[in-house]
A = this chain, B = another copy of it.
Amino acid sequence: MKLTTVKELYKNPEQFLDKEITIGGWIRSIRDSKTFGFIVVNDGSYFQPLQVVYHDSMENFADISKQNVGAALVVTGTLVATPQAKQPFEIQATEVAVEGGSAPDYPLQKKRHTLEYLRTISHLRPRTNTFQAVFRVRSLIAYAIHQFFQERGFVYVHTPLITGSDCEGAGEMFRVTTLDMENLPKNEDGTVDYSKDFFNKETSLTVSGQLNGETYAQAFRSIYTFGPTFRAENSNTTRHAAEFWMIEPEIAFADLEDNMNLAEDMLKYIINYVLEEAPEEMNFFNSFVDKGLLERLKLVASSDFARVTYTEAVEILEKHNDKFEYKVSWGTDLQTEHERYLTEEIYKRPVFVTDYPKEIKAFYMKMNEDNKTVAAVDCLVPGIGEIIGGSQREDDYEKLVARMKELELREEDYQFYLDLRKYGSTRHAGFGLGFERCVMYLTGMSNIRDVIPFPRTVNNCEL
């Protein structure tokens, strides 16, 4: 069907005013008097709806008037300017065809619903204002990320989801199997015989594409991943989901500073893109979801991010230990309360904290000369705390092997990873951005369940 979108009308009204157009959309509200009626229609292409005026000159006037909220219509008529009204224009309809009615028990009648209730109808909630805004912005952020990296020549790499390695601790991983659970094949000693499983061994869902990503950075120099990641953590919080998306860029011939520059540029790019492309949605969030949102985002987009070492940050925070539930001292990981204090109270802008104690960071991070800290970096932003975590990677074969021994990691599990340090090793770095964390930050939504179309959390895997 050749339909004009409401977005096109708003973007180029002069092209359509006083002309006949046809649109398709769903009723948000409808009211009629004896001889005419008003219908507010949303077609999903744009945050603003469109008002339709219809008259009893139509044969199906009565049928139209009894339509319910949620019904699908195809409307033909003339777009006319309405300088006295709050909306800029409306359609004077000549024809209103009912594409599909809406049963009287439609759950989204014109009234406010709680986010909790809307979570129970995840297949219908994208029809509400809030979720129209959330999921359009989610889509735009995803695209902004691709655009940012592609414009810079990064190669997009699909790292695998099913993995045979358990590099980050099997306890938090989901097992993937095709074995018959009611009749598991067994080894002679009574344990499960995974050689009968689909991949001829034990497999799980990945918790990170980083190690695979590094192999591609050593070939293409600048790469990024953007794909799903899984954590089987039994934690029922507003910030954790069992299935979420991650972006993990990795850059060769690059150190921690290059990494920070990339992260800073990326965050600013995403924010500017969304402010530009979704002003209606962003204003909606700022008015109804999170009052300080726009101010905060504009501050981030226009600040030079501060940079401080962990050691310096701890010195600063220790002076304010009376304000914290968990007291800060060198060697402890920073909690959200400390992170937010640093970025909101001390720096009043985003801040990179670098060079953390090796004990609280991963084995692959580059050891600093002090042999106590590693070249790790977290990016902290006002309103949320940590949004990005990354590091320069240990690129020295001997040092990496030594560190793995200290941590009792088995060399044979990491042969491919060690090969990168054997054949043309480069200084290189990368970071991870939790995509949902990013969407929450840009929309002001406070529960991760409300920024994922069909969220998966402990005991919850609906639709």
Contact = CB atoms under 8 A, between A and B. Distances in A.
A215 B163 contact: no
Contact of A124 (B232, B419, B458, B459): B419
Would you list the 3 A-B pairs with minimal beta carbon distance, nearest first? A100-B425, A126-B219, A24-B253
A456 to B, nearest CB: 5
Given A164-B463, A416-B463, 10 more contacts: A1-B427, A44-B221, A72-B425, A102-B423, A123-B420, A126-B220, A127-B219, A160-B243, A164-B462, A198-B459
Contacts of A242: 162, 198-199
Given A102-B424, A135-B155, A242-B198, A232 B178 contact: yes
Interface stretch (A87-95, A200-208, A286-294, A350-358): A200-208
Interface in A404-456: 416-417, 419-427, 452-454, 456
A192 interface: yes
A313 interface: no
A245 interface: yes
Interface string A176-187: 111101101000
A159 B24 contact: no
Contacts of A176: 174-176, 205
Given A24-B426, A143-B150, A157-B135, A458 B106 contact: no
A459 B159 contact: no
A376 interface: no
7 contacts: A26-B218, A44-B252, A99-B426, A100-B425, A132-B219, A175-B175, A212-B463
A378 interface: no
Nearest to A203: B461
Contacts of A344: none
A70 interface: yes
> Number of contact residues on A: which range applies?
35 or more
Given A24-B426, A461-B199, A3 B253 contact: yes
A318 B321 CA distance: 84
A459 B199 contact: yes
B220 A136 contact: yes
Interface in A120-169: 122-124, 126-127, 131-132, 135-136, 138-139, 142-143, 146, 150, 153, 155-165
A249 interface: no
Contacts of A126: 215-216, 219-220
Which of A181, A453, A461 is the most central at the interface, judged by chain B CB atoms within 10 Å of its CB?
Answer: A461
A153 B161 CA distance: 29
Nearest to A106: B423
A427 B72 CA distance: 10
Interface string A41-75: 00111000000000000000000000000111010
Interface in A326-350: none
B395 A100 contact: yes
A7 interface: yes
Contact of A160 (B7, B227, B454): B454
B423 A160 contact: no
A425 B139 contact: no
A427 B99 contact: yes
A161 B161 contact: yes
A155 B136 contact: yes
Nearest to A224: B139
A309 interface: no
A373 interface: no
B24 A70 contact: no
